[in-house]
Structure formats: C-alpha cells, structure tokens
Amino acid sequence: MFGLSELAVVLIVVIAVLVAKKGPELARSAGKSARILKAEARAMKEESEATADTSPRIVRGETAAPAADGNAPGVQGPLGSATERTERSAGTPPQDPRP
C-alpha cells in the first residue's frame, strides 16, 4: 500500500493543482478587500478630524426647579408623590385614582 511519505506527496500535488486554479482569484479578492478596508479607514480618519475641528454643539434648554416634595414638576418619583409615600408608610392602602 501507500506509506506516509507517498500520501504526503500526493496531497501536496493536489493542493498545488487547486491553488494554481483558484490562486489568482483568491489574490484578486484579497486585494479588493484590502483596498476597501484602506479606503474606509481613511474616510473614518478624515471624518474624525473634521469633527475635531468644530466646536462642541451646545443645546439650550430650560431647567425645572424641584418641587416642594423633591420631585421635578409633573414627575413622580419611583415611590410616587409625597402623599402616596406617606400613605404607604402609614399602613393605609393607596387610594385608587380612577373614578
């Protein structure tokens, strides 16, 4: 039968034949991918340099003073309003606000 060395030679010949057929196509594909990657990296670098030159964007807005119960107006905290917190701590069940 075949020994290990003969099997290795046959395997090398088969690989060489396959590479000879597909090699140029694989190299062309790898070259295209490398060019695309290089172009994208250059575009990202130019974009980051362009945004670094501009001043930061400032958004003007209004600030709401906190209400007496410590919450902003119109906003309930995680435990509800101050009245609801008092009712819960007093042991009475909260009132159903629906009619």
Q: What is the pLDDT of residue 38?
A: 96
CA dihedral of residues 62, 67, 69, 71 (deg, nearest 10): -10
Q: What angle do CA 89, 94, 98 make, to 5 degrees?
A: 160
The H or E element spanning position 51 is helix 4-53
Q: What's the pLDDT at 18?
A: 83
- Structurally, how many domains does the chain consist of? 1
What's the mean pLDDT in 33-58? 83
Give every CB contact of residue 43 below 8 A, 6+ residues apart in sequence: none
Coil vs helix vs strand at 80: strand
Flag whether pLDDT at 36 surpasses 90.
yes
What DSSP designation does 98 have?
Answer: -
The answer to whether position 79 is within a domain reads: no
Q: What is the pLDDT of residue 59?
A: 73
């909260």: which residue's tokens?
94
Domain of 37 in residue numbering reads as: 23-52
* pLDDT cut 70: percent of the chain above it: 60
Residue type, position 35, single letter: R
Q: Give the span between the Cα atoms of 94 and 81, in whole angstroms.
A: 11
Q: What is the pLDDT of residues 55-76, one digit of tens each?
A: 666 777 777 666 665 555 555 5
Residue 47 binned pLDDT confidence (cut-offs 50, 70, 90): confident
